[in-house]
Amino acid sequence: MINNLAHESTLEVINVLLVEDNAADAYLIQELLPSEVYKLTHAPSLSKAHLAAKIDHFDIVLLDLSLEDGFGLDTFLAMHTSLPQTPICILTGNDNDEIALEAIKFGAQDYVAKHALSERGLARIIRYSIQRHQAQSMIIESDRRAITAETHLKLALRASKIGIWSYSIDEGRVYFDEQMLALFGVIPGTTVETIPQFLQYVHIDDRKRILEAFEKSIELKNDYNSEYKIVWPDGSEHYIAARGQIISDIHGQSTLVAGVCTDITKQKLEHKNALRLIVLEQHEDFIATLTHDLKNPLIGADKALELFLCGALGTLDDRQLKLLTLMRESNADMLALIQNLLEVYRYDEGQPSLSYSQVNIASLATACIRQLNGVAEESSIQFHENFPHDQCEISVDSIAIGRVLRNLISNAMKFTRAGGKISISGNDTGDFYTLTVEDTGAGIPEEDQNLLFQRFSQGKLGKKYAAGTGLGLYLCRQLVEAHGGRIACTSKVGVGTLFTVTLPKNKEQNVANSLCTAS
């Protein structure tokens, strides 16, 4: 696609399809478009234009509306159907400007009267038509990405039971999403739009404290962090952890407080249990980490949606495109974090229910690599697979082992520098099948290797900050041990890391080994 047509003589040739049945007009247009800048294909009828479109790719179509096999608006609609992704400029006579304007309503980029054609004018129309079409395509794609990101964000928040709230400083109005209303036990149909309405749900002992903390955060432009007790309409008491951040306008004036809330009632009620206290503290650490990781995508989503809803975007610039891209990437990371959390808690609660089937490990590994290949290509990381095709069938839960492979490969990608290599291989050792994931990354110090498979443990070497919860390898251990297998790691700083997963090949042995592991 032509990205910049301002200096045509320095660019690749623009491919033009001219649909015109008047030989004199076609000759005139050909004379006005220099061959060193334009490649012109002339089709005297719609049928021949359709044939040309199947053979070649065109950057723009110059279309006469009066042809031997087409007339008026129907001519444009037929051409637009044939080339829906190509800009079309209408060539008009003296008496069909109204039809040309009607065609623009249906998607034509521009129109020009034949009697007013000039070399400069025609070149300008072609240039602007292509640029306008590019801009429209970018807007459509941006809309699609925004809707997708919003959907993913809503699903993630619903799964994690995190409520979103905001407070407009200028208007003095509060916004609660559906999950926030659920956290506060709000009766359907009841609105919470002001601070006094919000405080009605807060326990009377906490109202003054949290209101003063909130006002101080706005005054000092500091992050808002608070825990308080709320009372549902049914009289039951619950505990809420609230986090918020001040958002300022371009002049530095505070305009909005955006934040999230989670229900911490369970942790508060179990604090007397000494054996559970450590887990609860880790859970609080996780909430803080999750809040940190969610903060940027939540604010980004809110700002982007605000721009779309008020219709202020217009033609997208680089900053807006970057905003939408970061929103999508951050949302994808958030979904992965939340999914790991849900899986960890499910497996911590007891023996998981695995669905065994005969699985081709080589095909499963290839599918996992395909899902991560896009990110790997951006970092110039190469994948190498080594699976003997006659030794790849074992009895496992494909979803669980697929998650193990994705976590291990993703972890290897995180700590492998650009241009590095990740090798995934499998080997049948009799009653067991061995999977290995090896990288050429920074390596892990020996003193840290014993901590890798514990909750909230994260590697730091090679990165200033690695976004995550430290649950990935812990979850891998849980899933592998549920199959009666083992997972181990060997690593050397500056050389790389090797993860080895050993799995029983049949279900009966899986169950027996998992019982031994549990005991």
Question: For the domain that residue 45 is a member of, what is the CATH number?
Answer: 3.40.50.2300
**379 near 413, Cβ under 8 Å?**
yes
Task: Give a yes or no: residue 311 inside a domain.
Answer: yes
Taking residues 326-344, what's their average pLDDT? Answer: 60
200 part of a folded domain: yes
Residue from 438, 452, 362 nearest 398 by CA: 362
Q: Are residues 58 and 149 in the same domain?
A: no
End-of-domain residue from the set 348, 375, 398: 348
- Determine contact, residues 436/500, Cβ cutoff 8 Å: yes
Structural domains in the chain (count): 3
The residue ranges of DSSP E strands in 199-327, in sequence order, are 224-231, 237-248, 254-263
Residue 468 neighbours by CB under 8 Å, 6+ apart: 293, 337, 414, 458
Which of 489, 470, 477, 474 shows the shortest CA–CA distance to 518? 477
Q: Are 167 and 301 within one domain? A: yes
Per-residue pLDDT band at 390 (split at 50, 70, 90):
low
User: What is the rounded distance in angstroms from the CA atom of residue 325 to the CA atom of residue 361?
Assistant: 34
Is the same domain home to 326 and 366? no
* Greatest alpha-carbon span in the chain: 94
Assess whether pLDDT exceeds 70 at residue 414. yes
Domain assignment present for residue 35? The answer is yes
With a cut of 80, say whether residue 144 has pLDDT above it. yes
Q: How far apart are CA 221 and CA 253, in angstroms?
A: 10
SS3 for 321?
Answer: helix
- Domain span holding position 248: 141-348
Residue 127 maps to a domain: no
Confidence of residue 507 (pLDDT cuts 50, 70, 90): low
Question: Do 513 and 485 form a contact (C-beta atoms < 8 A)?
Answer: yes
Residue whose token pair is 């101080």 = 216
> Which residues 6+ apart lie within 8 Å of 496 measured at CB?
416, 438, 439, 440, 441, 443
CATH classification of the domain holding 466 = 3.30.565.10
Q: Within a domain: residue 3?
A: no
pLDDT band at 258 (very low <50, low <70, confident <90, very high): very high
Same domain, 110 and 248: no
User: Which of 348, 381, 404 lies at the terminal end of a domain, its last residue?
Assistant: 348
For residues 260 and 367, membership in a common domain is answered with no
- Tell me the residue type at 89: C
**3-state secondary structure (DSSP) of residue 516:** helix
Nearest to 159 by CA among 385, 337, 298: 337
- On whether both 168 and 39 belong to a single domain, the answer is no
168 or 291: whose pLDDT is higher? 168
- Mark whether 364 and 267 lie in a shared domain: no
Q: pTM of this prediction?
A: 0.39
Residue 423 is predicted with a pLDDT of 93
Strand duo 382-386 + 421-428: pairing: parallel
Q: How far apart are CA 335 and CA 136, in angstroms?
A: 30
CA neighbours within 13 Å on the CB side: how many for 47? 2
Residue 444 has pLDDT above 80, yes or no: yes
**CATH code of the domain in which 311 resides:** 3.30.450.20
Q: How confident is the model at residue 508 (pLDDT cuts 50, 70, 90)?
A: low
pLDDT, mean of residues 48-71: 88
Is 310 found in the same domain as 399?
Answer: no
- In this predicted structure, which of 88-97, 136-145, 178-187, 442-451 has the lowest mean pLDDT? 88-97
Residue 92 CA to its chain's centroid (Å): 45
Instruction: For residue 81, give the nearest of 93, 70, 92, 66 by alpha carbon.
Output: 70
pLDDT of residue 106: 82
Query: Does 512 reside within a domain?
Result: yes
Provide the mean pLDDT of the chain.
79
Q: How many CB atoms lie within 10 A of CB 258?
A: 21
Q: In whole angstroms, what is the distance from residue 320 CA to residue 157 CA? A: 24
Region 194-211: mean pLDDT is 93
Q: Is 338 exposed, middle or buried (0-12, 13-18, 19+ CB in 10 A)?
A: buried
Q: Which has more confidence, 312 or 376?
A: 376
Contact status, residue 248 vs residue 254, Cβ threshold 8 Å: yes
Residue 517 pLDDT > 60:
no
Mean pLDDT of 65-71: 84
Q: Specify which residues 242 forms β-bridges with.
A: 226, 261
pLDDT of residue 72: 81
Q: Are 255 and 363 contained in the same domain?
A: no
Q: Which of 324, 348, 372 is the last residue of a domain?
A: 348
Mean pLDDT score, 308-331 = 59
Percent of the chain with pLDDT strictly greater than 70: 74
Q: Is 395 helix (H, G, I), strand (E, B) or coil?
A: strand
Residue 11 has pLDDT above 60, yes or no: no
Q: Which two tokens stand for residue 98?
A: 């109204």
Q: Which pLDDT belongs to residue 76?
A: 87
241 shares its domain with 294? yes
Does the structure show a pLDDT above 90 at 162? Answer: no
Proportion of the chain above pLDDT 90, given as a percent? 24
Residue 126 domain flag: no
Confidence of residue 228 (pLDDT cuts 50, 70, 90): very high
Residue 429 and residue 419: Cα distance in Å, rounded? 32
User: 175 has which bridge partners?
Assistant: 166
Q: Alpha-carbon distance 339 to 335, whole Å?
A: 6
What is the reported pLDDT for 334?
62
Cα separation of 392 and 293, whole Å? 38
In a domain, 207, yes or no: yes
CB count, 10 Å around CB of 284?
A: 14
CA atoms of 485 and 404, how far apart (whole Å): 12
Judgement on whether residues 335 and 223 belong to the same structural domain of the protein? yes
- Domain identity same for 108 and 152: no
Instruction: Say whether pLDDT at 503 is over 70.
Output: yes
